């Protein structure tokens, strides 16, 4: 994962700027100012990418629909606890924890949590979020934390948004098994997004040539650790990890019905809704 000089994932700055661009509530005070410039620069590159690969989707809209679809699913689940892994600069915790009956715990790596805390401390609205009894910002590595030891209790919605594409298949399995143990103990649901390579729009011929050049001549490998699985292979791994029910939702298919923002713009992000049948 590319990081800036504060050791913060650059992708977290881009997604934060996306939530702000979309006008999501609380994003104004959670988003670092520097992320706006990055957003403009990346989007300029993406305009060129989409011109070369016309079947690709708009990244800000893909992200917006993924984020809003997860919000929708958390609301639908209605659990009184939310545990968000890799929360980055997401403003979801600030929005949801306005409800004092809901406990919201955000986890991320230590430098990210430090930057988010600093960002929240910089405004009165952010300080009010930090002061809430039902909001917690905690440093933890999703790959190494024992979730069932730390968070067992009442039913919980666990979220990992924008994370699994950076993990190898073995790392994904490790995190999923930990979440299964937590849900076996507490009940709840696990929500995450992941677009396997076979589900991504096919590149055009010039796009494939440029991709080949990037990988094999320039040797520029991206951040994502793709493998050969398609969505059904991912579901098979989730079942192997111990989930007993996995639903796969395509944002494009639900955008209108769920009244996602800018629903008319086509997107295809896959959201996995995973549950565990608990022993009676």
Ligand X SMILES: C[S@@+](CC[C@H](N)C(=O)[O-])C[C@H]1O[C@@H](n2cnc3c(N)ncnc32)[C@H](O)[C@@H]1O
Residues that bind ligand X (CB under 6 A): 1, 9, 11-12, 15-16, 85-88, 90, 108-109, 112, 141-143, 161-163
| φ, ψ dihedrals at 276, nearest 5° | -125, 125
**Which bin fits 29, alpha (ψ -120 to 50), beta or left (φ > 0)?**
alpha
Q: In angstroms, give the least distance from the CB of 212 to ligand X.
A: 26
Comparing C-alpha atoms, which of 252, 269, 264, 230 is closest to residue 66? 269
Least Å from the CB of residue 25 to ligand X: 14
Q: State the DSSP string of 234-262.
A: HHHHHHHHT-SEEEEEEHHHHTTTTT-TT
For the CB of residue 116, give the shortest distance to ligand X in the complex, in Å. 9
CA 255 to chain centre: 17
53 vs 90 by CB, closer to ligand X: 90
Dig out the tokens for 240 from the structure.
């192997």
Minimal distance, residue 89 CB to ligand X, in Å: 6
C-alpha closest to that of 130 among 29, 16, 225: 29
Backbone angles phi, psi at 134, to 5 degrees: -95, 10
The residue whose Cβ lies closest to ligand X is 88
- Packing angle of the helix pair 59-77, 10-21 (nearest 10 deg): 80
Q: Which is nearer to ligand X, 17 or 246 (CB)?
A: 17
For residue 191, the SS3 value is strand
237: left (phi over 0), alpha (psi -120 to 50) or beta: alpha
213 Cβ neighbours under 8 A, 6+ residues apart: none
Pick the closer one to ligand X by CB: 147 or 163.
163
CB of 65: closest distance to ligand X in angstroms? 12
Among the listed residues 240, 165, 160, the one whose alpha carbon sits nearest the alpha carbon of residue 196: 165
CB of 144 to ligand X, least distance (A): 8
Closest to ligand X by CB, 5 or 219? 5
Residue placing its CB nearer to ligand X in the complex, 121 or 143: 143
Identity of the residue, 51 or 180, whose beta carbon is nearer to ligand X in the bound complex: 180
- What is the closest distance, in whole angstroms, from the C-beta atom of residue 268 to ligand X in the complex? 17
Q: 56 or 269, CB closer to ligand X?
A: 269
């Amino acid at each position: 994962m590319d990081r800036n000089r504060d050791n913060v994932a650059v992708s977290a700055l881009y997604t934060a700027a996306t939530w702000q661009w979309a006008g999501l509530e609380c994003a104004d005070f959670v988003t670092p100012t520097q992320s706006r410039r990055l957003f403009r620069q990346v989007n300029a590159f993406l305009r060129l990418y989409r011109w070369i690969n016309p079947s690709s989707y708009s990244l800000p809209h893909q992200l917006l629909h993924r984020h809003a679809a997860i919000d929708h699913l958390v609301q639908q689940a209605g659990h009184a606890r939310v545990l968000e892994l890799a929360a980055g600069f997401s403003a979801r915790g600030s929005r949801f924890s306005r409800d004092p009956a809901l406990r919201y715990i955000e986890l991320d790596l230590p430098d990210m949590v430090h930057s988010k805390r600093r960002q929240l401390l910089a405004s009165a609205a952010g300080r009010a979020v930090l002061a809430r009894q039902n909001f917690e910002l905690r440093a933890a590595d999703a790959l190494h934390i024992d979730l069932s030891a730390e968070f067992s209790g009442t039913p919980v919605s666990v979220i990992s948004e924008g994370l699994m594409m950076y993990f190898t298949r073995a790392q994904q399995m490790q995190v999923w098994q930990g979440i299964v143990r937590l849900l076996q103990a507490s009940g709840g649901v696990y929500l995450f997004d992941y677009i396997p390579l076979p589900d991504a729009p096919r590149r055009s011929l010039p796009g494939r040539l440029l991709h080949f050049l990037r990988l094999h001549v320039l040797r520029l490998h991206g951040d994502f650790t793709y493998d050969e699985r398609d969505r059904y292979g991912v579901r098979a791994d989730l079942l192997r990890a111990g989930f007993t029910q996995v639903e796969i939702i395509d944002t494009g298919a639900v955008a209108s019905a769920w009244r996602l923002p800018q629903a008319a713009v086509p997107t295809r992000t896959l959201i996995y809704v995973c549950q565990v049948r608990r022993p009676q």
